[in-house]
Amino acid sequence: MGLLAGALLLLVVVRSAWVSDDAYISFRTVHNFIEGHGLRWNVAERVQVFTHPLWLFLVAALYALGADVYGASLGLSFALTAGVAVVLTRGGWWGPAAVVVLAASKSFVDYSTSGLENPLLHLLLLLFLRELLLLPRSGQGSPGEGERRLLRMTLLGSLLALTRPDAVLYVAPGIALAMLRVGLRSALPRVALGLAPLLAWEAFSLVYYGDLVPNTARAKVGFTSGEWTRARMGLHYLLVSLRADPVLGPAILGGIAGAAWTRDVRFLAAAVGVLAAVAYLFVIGGDFMIGRFLAAPLLVSVVLLARAADRAAAGPRWAAVLVVAALVVSLTSASSPFRVGPDYESSAVADPGGLADERGYYFAVTGLFGRSRCRRSVPPVRWDGRPPRVLAYGGGMVPFSAGPGGHYVDIYAVTEPLLARVPLTLEGAYRPGHLPREIPVGYLESLESGQNLLVDPATAALWDDVRLVTRGPLWTRARWRAIRRLLLHGGARDRP
């Protein structure tokens, strides 16, 4: 049963495999890194344009061995998803049933590839859940067992944060519970050791990039919006995703209900993490990729549901009922993983709010079995060493293919250090993750000439700091003063 369920999941994931345009933002950094230009999007400046360093380094390792980034990302995705299936299907009937539920979910299948970090996030979350749900009860187990499990949980939490920063929402309640079980005096050294990878990356990020926050986060959420705008957009994202993937709602609610039924604080800690991750969508205003940010909550919820059912001694008949229900609910959707094929296609924007079925939009040109597959793997143009041409553009595929010979000013500011920091106020709804900026007068000329030709005095002063931090020598006193200004005052000059 477990083998069949795992094979089904891998079959639909491979059949639906694709790569998103956003993934090529990281792929461009991977190419520049392996070519010796550093962890950079544009070779002239140090800017962190990715939120998943652990995923990026795994792709980079395969790229360095000769794989193209398209094949590297899909190969990793398949291997990690196979790992999820193996961990889930061990023993009993409910593990295989959980795998079938995941295979029936458009959100989980879509983002088990895509070139983004979700497959790594899924496996690490599953390993963390296993540690959390095996945490000794109060008064049970040896002190050493609880301390070792806390260390593993904290280490996995660090790796999850290096895969996607908001993953801390899933693990924080569980780690807090483990610390209370162990006792603060014994817990603190283990937590400090477990957090070492994350702290090491943050130290590197501060030195190399001059920032503790990825530029992508500044671009996507670092602006002012109307009251309750983000909450309304987060709700809209949730509703659109639930309509597109009808498996999501019942499975997530079922997992939370199952955790509540057990009255086990370990299950409840995991459920609180799911609720926190869903609530976070209301804080950031959701995302433009339908279902992407709900794949992980689905995974955790399905695990909780399966473990709760197993604890209730529900037999194989009930597991079969769950499997049939998931398949029937999934098949009611036209975009079910079981119904789409090589001709799968959707419009760029799936609703007036700007949310998109990303796989449907890109599958024809980047799908492993897409109809044309013309953009699956276009190798970057070799750089001839001449000064890069300055170009304004928004997206990942074209800059990746152009290679280091182009300096791209991202009109959405995701990879652009100045535009991400220029104050922006929005009235009303907007397309999440796609906030076009006006290029300041004189900015392109400044990049081409190497001189500050910006017309607006405040923007010119901001560019002085940004340029020093992203282009200047790492250890000068002037650069570290600029870093302090950017971190504390957004780049405002110290007042005399």
pLDDT tens sequence across 151-164: 999 999 999 999 99
Residue 376: the pLDDT is 66
pLDDT digits 0-9 by tens, 328-343: 999 999 889 998 888 8
Element (H, E) at 482: helix 477-489
Percentage of the chain exceeding pLDDT 90: 79
Q: What is the mean pLDDT of residues 55-79?
A: 95
Looking up tokens 């603060």, which residue turns up? 184
Question: Is pLDDT of 496 > 50?
Answer: no
Question: Is pLDDT of 495 > 70?
Answer: no
Question: Is pLDDT of 349 > 90?
Answer: no
Q: Please, are residues 213 and 165 in contact by the beta-carbon 8 Å criterion?
A: no
Residue 373: the pLDDT is 67
Question: Is pLDDT of 52 > 90?
Answer: yes
Residue 141: the pLDDT is 67
User: 226 pLDDT band (50/70/90 cuts)?
Assistant: confident
Inter-CA distances, 24 with 73, 328, 380, 482, Å: 11, 35, 11, 30
User: 91 pLDDT band (50/70/90 cuts)?
Assistant: low
Label each residue of 424-462 as H, E or C: CEECCCCCCCCCCCCCCCCHHHHHHHCCCCCCCHHHHHH
- C-alpha 310/C-alpha 235 separation (Å) is 33
Percentage of the chain exceeding pLDDT 70: 96
pLDDT digits 0-9 by tens, 272-286: 999 999 999 999 999
Q: What is the mean pLDDT of residues 288-301?
A: 97
- C-alpha 492/C-alpha 486 separation (Å) is 7
Question: Is pLDDT of 348 > 80?
Answer: no
Residue 292: the pLDDT is 97
Q: What is the mean pLDDT of residues 138-148?
A: 77
- C-alpha 416/C-alpha 428 separation (Å) is 24
Q: Please, are residues 303 and 108 in contact by the beta-carbon 8 Å criterion?
A: no
Mean model confidence pLDDT for the chain: 92
CA 389 to chain centre: 30
Lowest mean pLDDT among 70-84, 283-297, 351-365: 351-365
* Helices of type H across 142-228: 143-163, 168-182, 184-194, 196-208, 215-221
Fill in the amino acid letter for 186: S
Residues paired with residue 490 on neighbouring β-strands, in sequence order: none
Q: Which of 37-46, 141-150, 306-315, 378-387 has the highest mean pLDDT?
A: 37-46
Residue 316: the pLDDT is 87
Pseudo-torsion of CA 198, 200, 202, 208, nearest 10°?
-150
Residue 34: the pLDDT is 96
- Name which residue leads in pLDDT, 365 or 83: 83
Label each residue of 208-221 as H, E or C: HCCCCCCHHHHHHH
Residue 42: the pLDDT is 96
Closest CA relative to residue 282, chosen from 359, 169, 358:
169
- C-alpha 120/C-alpha 129 separation (Å) is 14
pTM, rounded to two decimals: 0.95
pLDDT digits 0-9 by tens, 433-448: 888 999 999 999 999 9
Tell me the two tokens of residue 111.
């983002």
Q: What is the mean pLDDT of residues 461-468?
A: 97
Question: Is pLDDT of 359 > 90?
Answer: yes
Residue 139: the pLDDT is 61
User: 350 pLDDT band (50/70/90 cuts)?
Assistant: low
Q: Please, are residues 367 and 342 in contact by the beta-carbon 8 Å criterion?
A: yes
- C-alpha 77/C-alpha 71 separation (Å) is 10
Inter-CA distances, 218 with 59, 214, 278, 284, 396, Å: 24, 7, 21, 12, 18
Inter-CA distances, 385 with 37, 245, 389, Å: 12, 48, 11
Fill in the amino acid letter for 372: S
User: 494 pLDDT band (50/70/90 cuts)?
Assistant: very low
Helix (H, G, I), strand (E, B) or coil at 224: strand
Residue 343: the pLDDT is 81
pLDDT digits 0-9 by tens, 28-40: 999 999 999 999 9
Burial 308-343 (b: 16+ CB within 10 A, else e): bbbeeebeeeebeebbebbbebbeebebbbbebeee
List all residues 6 or more positions away from 257 whose beta carbon is below 8 Å from its beta carbon.
none
- C-alpha 220/C-alpha 213 separation (Å) is 12
What is the C-alpha R_g of the chain? 23
- Name which residue leads in pLDDT, 143 or 207: 207
Question: Is pLDDT of 142 > 80?
Answer: no
Q: What is the mean pLDDT of residues 125-129?
A: 97
Residue 80: the pLDDT is 98
Q: Please, are residues 54 and 162 in contact by the beta-carbon 8 Å criterion?
A: yes
Residue 185: how many CB atoms within 10 A of its CB? 7
pLDDT digits 0-9 by tens, 363-398: 988 999 888 766 666 778 888 888 899 999 988 899
Closest CA relative to residue 282, chosen from 432, 436, 108:
432
